[in-house]
Amino acid sequence: MTLADYMTVSALLFLIGVFGALTRRNIIGILMSIELMFNAANLNLAAFDRFLHPEGLIGQALAVFVITVAAAEIVVGLALLLAIYRNTDTTYVEDFHLLKG
């Protein structure tokens, strides 16, 4: 397999994530789409590490960091979602317009 195959899979996964983030009404759906994008990025990192710089493991190390940050992100995001849900009684983003001018 070539790097192009992995990059293609990663690009498609990323695009699916973008599509989901742009279209899902439910905020949980948006968070999940963001996770998909993270995974696409990580897949790219792992592929670059394997195909371009196998000796350094830098890509893998960076992917580990991204995983960690993503975990933190999803945890805080879900906590915020819970807090917002308690206040507004909804999970649909079009109802979140407290800051609308």
Partner 1 sequence: MLEHFVFYSLAAVVLLSALAVVTLKNTVHSSLMLGLSLAGVAGLYAALGADFLFAAQIMVYVSGIAVLVMFVVMLLGRASDLHLRQVNEYWVAALAVCGVAGVGLLRLAGARSGTLSAAPAHPATQALGRLFLGEYLLPFELVSLLLLAALLGAVFFTHKESAS
Partner 2 sequence: MIEYAWLIPLIPVAASLIILFGAKEDPRSPLPWIGIGAMTVCLALAVSILWGFVSGGVALPYEKNWDWFSLATTIGGQSFVWTMPVGVLIDPPAAVLLFVVSLVSLMVQVYSIAYMHDDTRYKRYFAFVSFFTAAMLGLVVSSNILVGFMCWELMGLTSYLLIGFWFEREGPCEAQKKAFMTTKLGDSGLYLALLLLYAKTGTFQLTQLHQHFALGLVAPAAATVAAIGILLGAMGKSAQAPLMVWLPDAMEGPTPGSALIHAATMVAAGILVVSKLYFVFLAAPLAMEAAAWIGLITAFMAAAMALVSFDIKRVLAFSTVSQLGFMLCALGCGGYTAGLFHLTTHAFFKALLFLGAGSVIHSVHTNDMRQMGGLSRRMLLTFATMTVAVLAICGVWPFAGFYSKDMILVAAWNHEKWIFWPLLLTALMTAFYMTRLLTLTFLGDDRDHERFHHAHESPALITAPLLVLAFFSLTAGMAVAHDGLAARLFPKPTLSVAADAAAATPSASVAASAANNPQVQTPDAEQELPDWLKFGIPGVFVPGAMLLAFFMYRGPKFEAAEGLRSAFAPIATLLDRRWYLDDAFLALVAFCDGVAALAFWIDANIVDRVFVDGWGLLMRIIAEISSFFDGAFVDAAVDGVGGLSTDLGVGLRSLVAEGQVQEYMMYAAIAVSLAATLILTR
Q: Does 86 bind partner 2 (CB under 8 A)?
A: no
**Residue 30: how many other CB atoms lie within 10 Å:** 20
Positions in 10-49 near partner 2 (CB under 8 A): 18, 21-23, 30
**Residue 42: how many other CB atoms lie within 10 Å:** 21
Q: Does 87 bind partner 2 (CB under 8 A)?
A: no
Among 88, 91, 97, 99, binds partner 1 (CB under 8 A): 91
Q: Are 99 and 33 spatial neighbours (Cβ–Cβ below 8 Å)?
A: no
Stretch that binds partner 2, among 38-46, 48-56, 75-83, 91-99 (CB under 8 A): 91-99
88 binds, among partner 1, partner 2, none (CB under 5 to 8 A by kind): none
Minimum distance between the CB of residue 52 and partner 2, rounded to whole angstroms?
18
Report the distance separating Cα 36 and Cα 4, nearest Å.
Answer: 19
Q: Are 3 and 48 spatial neighbours (Cβ–Cβ below 8 Å)?
A: yes
